[in-house]
Structure 1
Amino acid sequence: MPYFSGLRILITGAGSGIGALMAEKLAHEGAEVIVTARRKEAASEVCERIRRHGGTAHPMVLDVSKLGTFNAFRERLHKAHGPVDVLINNAGVVFGGEFEKVDLKDHLNTFQINATGLMALTHAFFDDLIQSPRGHLVNIASASSYVGLPYGSTYAASKWAVLGFSESLRLELKERGLDNVSVTTVCPSYIDTGMFDGVKSPLLSPMLSPEKVVRAILDGMRQREPLVQAPMIVKHIDLMKGTLPMPVWDFLAKATGMSTSMKKWRGKH
């Protein structure tokens, strides 16, 4: 029996990109998928593709920036389909540019969706995860959770917050003896979904295909891994930053293109 068979999985931001691809792959492996997006049409299109291939999926509207709607959303979901076993916090936005030239509302919206909304939705569904025999929380962070990201400062800050939140919650669950719930944090480099059009991938960190990232996420979920990092260089960033003197690290970040990768960002958000 496939690992995900019988699990009810809620995915945010699943109307396109890796969210949609995860929904399709998980449904193919027997999961019942709740596909959410800000637009009902986007979620419905993903569900139609899933159903054509014999999978089970339900479209629901969810705007992760609107924290005050989460309790009502949970009640609708429970009434229609029941509690979830897995929550995948995938929804995210990015804005690039010189800090003061990016509108403040875009900075705040980035943090609201990528971090605050993620935490609030996890809070709303935490009882579902605790009560499931195979509860799992998956938070999509970023390789920028480990490094400063010039021209993408708020995006990096939001992803640092996601990593810190996820690690803290993972350890808390362990301390509380809630071994039925796993936490997996996903830290990929740039993904070729359109969000990062215009970026120049750093040395040793090529643009990742959505298929490769989703495959790594699902493998990590099966193994209940605490961290999924891609490409390999991401696994060594903490060691390098902690070992090298700051001026050397700064030089290395610039020489490899990490400090300048977002300089010409023009992607969709």
Structure 2
Amino acid sequence: MAQFSNHRVLITGSGAGIGRLMAEKLAGHGAEVVVTARRIAAAREVVERIRNAGGRAHAYSLDVSKPGTLTKLRDQIHQELGPISILINNAGVVFGGEFEQVPLEKHLATFKVNSEGLMACTHTFMDDLIRAPRGHLVNIASASAFIGLPYGSSYAASKWAVVGFSESLRLELAERGIRNVKVTTVCPSYIATGMFKGVKAPMFSPMLTPDRVVESILRGISRGEAFVIEPPMARSVELLKGVLPRKLWDELARRTGVSTSMYSWKGKKKDE
């Protein structure tokens, strides 16, 4: 993956979880990584680890739910480092439970971070990607973007929005003749990061390790893939939903645990 050595990569929500691991892996492959997190201390810890390993990294504070700060951050990065060529929209939150029992502000916060924040970051840095010799936009969605997710309705809906936005933008760039920018949408099932503590993974879809997901993402970026979906079984969901009668699909989802996986969710309410 030597092709990352000429890239400056900004990763949102990279103070923990798969964001942190992506930052470390990309730096290990030669990329210059811009680590961002709501807590600057978390970003600095990641940067210190990367630099101690011989990599290049820089820490910035970023709360994607506050789009008014993005232009200032972009200008600061441009002045101190230069433009980016890869943007990985990873920041996200999840709140689970019976829909009406979850406070409305938490449902709205889910969209504010997972959908609106992702779109705002993309809008702010899109010119950087277009001007780069090889630009790349990576949006972290979820396998729940293909299904209904009881007890996680606003989370699934926010990820459906990410897939719709990403696919629309990918096709728009092609229509505009912008061939140097690739768009990759990442749709993993549950990842063992603590964010989904307590969930019961569906049948045939075990909890994914962060390493497996990150390696798939980096491979997908290298190949310019439109989608990265993990595990492989999740790739058949859209086909099954399309060919099976609705009642049969609903029953299959219930029996395999797809519809009940979030019932026992006890995850941490923090960034991915």
TM-score greater than 0.5 by the shorter chain: yes
After TM superposition, the structure 1 = structure 2 runs for residues 109-258 of structure 1, keeping only pairs within 5 Å, are: 109-258=109-258
Structure 1: distance between partners of 2:69 and 2:186: 26
Alpha-carbon displacement from aligned partner over 1:67-93 (angstroms, at most 9, x marks no partner) = 111111111111111110000000000
Letter in 2 for 1:146: F
Letter in 2 for 1:231: P
After TM superposition, the structure 1 = structure 2 runs for residues 72-83 of structure 1, keeping only pairs within 5 Å, are: 72-83=72-83
Structure 2: distance between partners of 1:44 and 1:120: 24
Structure 1: distance between partners of 2:82 and 2:106: 35
Structure 1: distance between partners of 2:72 and 2:111: 22
Shift of 1:32: 0.3
Structure 1: distance between partners of 2:254 and 2:135: 41
Provide the secondary structure at the position in 1 that maps to 2:268.
Answer: coil
Letter in 1 for 2:3: Y
Structure 1: distance between partners of 2:33 and 2:51: 11
Shift of 1:41: 0.5
Alpha-carbon displacement from aligned partner over 1:114-147 (angstroms, at most 9, x marks no partner) = 0011001100000000000110000000000000
Structure 1: distance between partners of 2:89 and 2:200: 26
Shift of 1:15: 0.1
Provide the secondary structure at the position in 1 that maps to 2:33.
Answer: strand
Structure 2: distance between partners of 1:173 and 1:204: 36
| Counterpart position of 1:268 | 268
Give the ranges of 4+ consecutive aligned residues of structure 1 lying more than 4 Å apart after TM superposition.
none
Shift of 1:164: 0.4
Structure 1: distance between partners of 2:47 and 2:134: 24
| Counterpart position of 1:23 | 23
Structure 2: distance between partners of 1:80 and 1:265: 42
Shift of 1:234: 1.1
Shift of 1:265: 0.5
Letter in 2 for 1:77: I
Ranges in structure 2 where 5+ consecutive residues have no aligned partner: none
Letter in 2 for 1:201: A
Shift of 1:6: 1.7
Provide the secondary structure at the position in 1 that maps to 2:174.
Answer: helix
| Counterpart position of 2:53 | 53
| Counterpart position of 2:12 | 12
Structure 2: distance between partners of 1:210 and 1:15: 14
Provide the secondary structure at the position in 2 that maps to 1:4.
Answer: helix
Provide the secondary structure at the position in 2 that maps to 1:44.
Answer: helix
| Counterpart position of 1:39 | 39
Count residues with an aligned counterpart: 269
Q: CA RMSD in A?
A: 0.7
